[in-house]
Structure 1
Amino acid sequence: MTVSLKSDHKSKLYIHLLFWILYYILEVYLDFYWSRYQFPSFKWQLRLQNTVILELGYLLVKIPLAYSLLYVYEKVHINKIFKYILCALIVILAVLGHRFFTHDIIYPYIYGVTETLDGKQPSSFINGLVAFNSFMDLIFMVGLVFGIEITRQKNLLKDQISQLKSEKLDQELTMLKAQINPHFLFNTLNNIYGMALKKADETPDVILQLSKIMRYNIYEAAEKNISIEKDIENIKDFIQIQKIRHHHLSVHLQESIDNPSQEISPLILIQFVENAFKHGVSESLGNAFISIDIELKDRILTYCIENSKEEKPHQHSTKIGLKNIRRQLELLYPKHKLTVENKTDRYIVHLKIDFNDPSNL
């Protein structure tokens, strides 16, 4: 369970303890108010003292009744008919206990009088009217306890479901990110391998840049959110690696960030840049280009990438990567806006994320 049993028991103890304190205060107030009509000759100090003792005595009947019924309701697994019979027996015993305490202890020993129905006629131990009053008093209290406990359990279940959903989303996001890192590493190592075969002078620089990027992917990307400044810096490192290999490539990066510390989920933005290089540059003929425009203003991110396109692209070359990105955006920023334009000679991607939206993870 996402919520520990120890924490649940502690919460239950505090809630029920608070209930009984408030319930006791209410009962003392009501009985003290009633006693001035029942015993007008008593001084208020004596009436208050008697009421305090009276209600403490009633708690000795009410608390065992409430939790006996709760135990039968929650823990005892028997036929419903037998369960109802057992509950009825418990209530009958509680009513008898309530009557005994009232008839044989409260009136003769605390009030010093005989219990009466109308102030004149003595009441017997078992009388239909007084027994019904005892029954209603007990059932009202039991209803309150059950209502509080059921509400508490529903709230607890709601919290558990919310936590489970959050954990499931976190696991799915982690899995989606894990699909990106090996993909990027595989492509870059292939590039380094090709440069090493040619004994290119830039090979050590590319390895150094790759080391920096992998350090980011391992440590920074493990965080739920990072600053957009760090995410853009990682994009720049990635571009630098690609530019070393693609000398003919024209890359234009424009950024306008009014809050560099704005948090964003890592590895979201760079995936579009990866796609631009993989599907629009490395396989393109002639002059290849990538144009990246990142703007953050008033916690609203506008992200646009435009890249050249090969003449005969593979039909399914971008579907898996784009599907991955879309799923991450759905989980992290449900109300984002993403459009992908597939034109004859270029791809254009527009992404808008409003960080003010409370639905964001």
Structure 2
Amino acid sequence: MIKLKPYKRSKWQIHLLFWILYYILEVYLDFYWSRYQFPDFKWSVRLQNTLILELGYLLIKMPLAYALLYVFEKIHIKEIFKYLLYIFIVITAVFGHRFLTHYIIYPYIYGVTETLDGKYPSGFINGYVAFNSFMDLIFMVGLIFGVEITRQKNLLKEQISLLKSEKLDQELSMLKAQINPHFLFNTLNNIYGMALKKADETPDVILQLSKIMRYNIYEAAEKRISIAKDIENIKDFIQIQKIRHRHLTISFTEDIDHPSQEISPLILIQFVENAFKHGVSESLGETFITINIRLKNGILTYFIENSKEEKPHTHSTKIGQKNIRRQLELLYPQHTLSVENQNDRYIVTLTIDFHDTKPSL
């Protein structure tokens, strides 16, 4: 679930920063302008007056800004009525701006009568002064709308990113859920065959299976585990299979320079499982599996070669292979996977550059 509370707090932080910066900008502009409008005033008096009058203007501008934003975001009416409401709010703000300027700022802060160009007395409202007030307010409205629309776009991008991440997490969980039963089902079949033969090794295999199930329940639930743990799980799986397949020659080599390197669980084991299920288990004579895992400088090279019958007796649905390909696409988009299906052998070469791993998954 996406929680919006952090973004709401962020909204008010952004708006507070906006008003502080806007206030500083307006103080600077009005203080600069007051040098020409009131040349006889000391700079300290002009600065004090400017700080006060800009605070007064904020009492008009802030309600205007949030009234327009509220109408923009919350009120859902016909466009024509919404535009009329905008116009009414702006006109009301212009009158408030003029009242503050004409009746309070000039007579009480500056101690003079408001004039036009310093010559002619200005009335409370006329075209020139109304236009000035309108432009002052619209400049502020444009800025606050720009800030808010930008904030909302960034929020939308973050929400979309979270949704994509959640969707990928759910898809990966579904893929793992398809792999785990498939993996355990094959192993239980092996134990069933040994139990029918009353093999002495059956208790040891059950104990080994318990260890593998613990891995699948706890370790595989994590997004990533160390490659050392993943390799240990592969070795446990091989030990179980070696008991059943007496005529199997298996070679397993590893060269790992960073055992704590993290990898998504249940990816590597699937290729080993396929080597047994669709290679060794379908062969009647001598069989072999060669596995080589190499990790150097963040780049994993995974090689599996297994013997197979030229005409296997069963047809593989390749569901597990499709799942693994999909997981690799989601987690390691820059990976390379080479599959060679020759007459007497099956060769898989997987390369993963962990520098290109997606951090959100």
Is the TM-score greater than 0.5?
A: yes
**Aligned equivalent of 1:254:** 253
Task: Please list, as runs of the form range in 1=range in 2, the aligned pairs for 1:129-278 lying within 5 A after superposition.
Answer: 129-278=128-277
- Identical columns (%): 81
What letter is aligned with 2:288?
A: F
What letter is aligned with 1:104?
A: Y
Task: Please list, as runs of the form range in 1=range in 2, the aligned pairs for 1:1-361 lying within 5 A after superposition.
Answer: 2-4=2-4, 6-313=5-312, 316-357=315-356, 359=358, 361=361
Query: 1:314 offset after TM fit, Å?
Result: 5.5
| Aligned-partner Cα distance in 2 for 1:314–1:148 | 67
Superposed CA offset, 1:2-51 (max 9, x none): 132x3232111111011101111111111111111111111111111111
More contact order relative to length (CA 8 Å, sep ≥ 6): 2
| Aligned-partner Cα distance in 2 for 1:216–1:285 | 31
| Aligned-partner Cα distance in 1 for 2:110–2:323 | 78
Query: 1:356 offset after TM fit, Å?
Result: 1.1
What letter is aligned with 1:245?
A: R
Query: 1:281 offset after TM fit, Å?
Result: 0.2
What letter is aligned with 2:265?
A: P
| Aligned-partner Cα distance in 2 for 1:44–1:350 | 78
2:208–2:236 Cα contact (<8 Å) kept = yes
For the structure 1 residues 163 and 136, does the alpha-carbon distance in structure 2 shift closer, same or farther, using more than 3 Å as the test? same
What letter is aligned with 1:2?
A: I
What letter is aligned with 1:68?
A: A
| Aligned-partner Cα distance in 2 for 1:265–1:318 | 24
| Aligned-partner Cα distance in 1 for 2:319–2:348 | 16
| Aligned-partner Cα distance in 1 for 2:261–2:358 | 17
| Aligned-partner Cα distance in 2 for 1:256–1:114 | 88
2:299–2:351 Cα contact (<8 Å) kept = yes
Superposed CA offset, 1:176-196 (max 9, x none): 111111111111111111111
Query: 1:219 offset after TM fit, Å?
Result: 0.5
Structure 2: which 5+ runs fail to align? none
Superposed CA offset, 1:277-302 (max 9, x none): 00000110211100001110110000
For the structure 1 residues 281 and 358, does the alpha-carbon distance in structure 2 shift closer, same or farther, using more than 3 Å as the test? closer
Query: 1:316 offset after TM fit, Å?
Result: 4.3
1:227–1:261 Cα contact (<8 Å) kept = yes
| Aligned-partner Cα distance in 2 for 1:87–1:174 | 49
Query: 1:315 offset after TM fit, Å?
Result: 7.0
| Aligned-partner Cα distance in 1 for 2:285–2:243 | 18
Q: What SS does structure 2 have at the residue aligned with 1:3?
A: coil
Aligned length: 360
2:98–2:124 Cα contact (<8 Å) kept = yes
Superposed CA offset, 1:290-327 (max 9, x none): 00011101100000100011232267405222111101
| Aligned-partner Cα distance in 2 for 1:56–1:358 | 52
Q: What SS does structure 1 have at the residue aligned with 2:340?
A: strand
Superposed CA offset, 1:137-171 (max 9, x none): 10010011111111111111110110011011011
